[in-house]
């Protein structure tokens, strides 16, 4: 039995088939101490099986350490999305993109496949000004949070649009130590360069403002 029912699978297939470019999913796993790795691998392979525009490559965090290090992967389960040229989009998923977060994965694939995030020109212009500064966005979520996907998508759009931004979706319950470190008591919670943080789905303009705030002291 698959993760998607027939109706959902047909809708996902329709959307993936409309993507003009191919997207590669790198999935990082390990055999021990990863409760959701097996489920996530099955989910990704099921989704990839719906369209020729998707390809999944599976790597072991320990056995494929060189590749994991290349993409900055130190915990699993983890997803990295590459465009059809093999370029890193800056998008990361740590934890299974289930529940409401499945739509984040699907929409990220659509953006990367068409090479456009549909961000406003005003926001893109502001991001270009910041393109020489490394920016790390971490968005803590839970699968049953209806407001979390918009926060994840804002961060991921920024990463897709620029080379200097990496944006991580982190499923808070799968990584309790990380959640305690950043004092996650509500989601979505966004942490920027370990300097600035906020709770709630604030929108793209607000995210840009918080990024500027985080960079002021650097």
What does the pLDDT read at residue 131?
81
What does the pLDDT read at residue 2?
81
Q: Which CATH architecture has domain 1-88?
A: 3-Layer(aba) Sandwich (3.40)
The pLDDT tens digits of the residues spanning 197-209 come to 999 999 999 999 9
What does the pLDDT read at residue 218?
63
What does the pLDDT read at residue 216?
86
Q: Is 96 helix (H, G, I), strand (E, B) or coil?
A: coil
What does the pLDDT read at residue 1?
58
Q: Is 179 helix (H, G, I), strand (E, B) or coil?
A: helix
User: Domain coordinates of the chain in residue numbers?
Assistant: 1-88, 117-218
Distance, first Cα to last Cα, the chain: 51
Strand partners of residue 165:
135
The pLDDT tens digits of the residues spanning 111-165 come to 999 999 999 999 999 999 998 899 999 999 999 999 999 999 999 999 999 999 9
The pLDDT tens digits of the residues spanning 151-199 come to 999 999 999 999 999 999 999 999 999 999 999 999 999 999 999 999 9
**HSE value, Cβ hemisphere, 13 Å, CA-based, for 202:** 17
One fold for both 1-88 and 117-218? yes
Looking at the predicted structure, is the pLDDT value of residue 97 above 90? yes
Please classify residue 99 by burial: count the beta carbons closer than 10 Å to its beta carbon, then call 0-12 exposed, 13-18 middle and 19+ buried.
middle
The pLDDT tens digits of the residues spanning 11-26 come to 999 999 999 999 999 9
What does the pLDDT read at residue 69?
98
Contact 62, 47 (CB under 8 A): no
Alpha-carbon distance of 49 to 138, in angstroms, equals 29
Which string of DSSP letters, residue by residue, matches 6-27?
Answer: HHHHHHHHHHHHT-SS-EEEEE
Contact 169, 75 (CB under 8 A): no
What does the pLDDT read at residue 66?
98
Fold of 117-218: Glutaredoxin (3.40.30)
Strand partners of residue 199:
189
Q: Report the largest interatomic distance among the alpha carbons of the chain, rounded to a whole angstrom.
A: 52
């Amino acid at each position: 039995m698959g993760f998607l029912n027939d109706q959902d699978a047909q809708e996902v297939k329709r959307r993936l088939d409309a993507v003009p470019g191919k997207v590669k999913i790198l999935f990082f796993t390990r055999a021990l101490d990863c409760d959701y790795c097996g489920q996530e691998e099955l989910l990704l392979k099921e989704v990839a099986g719906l369209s020729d525009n998707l390809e999944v490559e599976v790597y072991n965090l320990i056995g494929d350490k060189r590749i994991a290090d290349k993409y900055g992967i130190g915990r699993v389960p983890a997803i990295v999305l590459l465009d059809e040229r093999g370029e890193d989009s800056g998008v990361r998923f740590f934890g299974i993109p289930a529940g409401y977060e499945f739509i984040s994965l699907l929409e990220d694939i659509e953006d990367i496949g068409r090479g456009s995030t549909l961000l406003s020109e005003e926001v893109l212009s502001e991001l270009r000004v910041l393109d020489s500064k490394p920016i790390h966005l971490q968005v803590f979520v839970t699968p049953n949070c209806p407001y979390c996907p918009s926060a994840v998508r804002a961060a991921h759009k920024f990463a897709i649009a620029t080379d200097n931004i990496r944006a991580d979706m982190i499923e808070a319950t799968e990584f309790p130590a990380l959640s305690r470190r950043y004092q996650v008591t509500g989601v979505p919670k966004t942490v920027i360069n370990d300097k600035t943080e906020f709770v709630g789905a604030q929108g793209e303009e607000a995210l840009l403002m918080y990024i500027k705030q985080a960079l002021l002291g650097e």
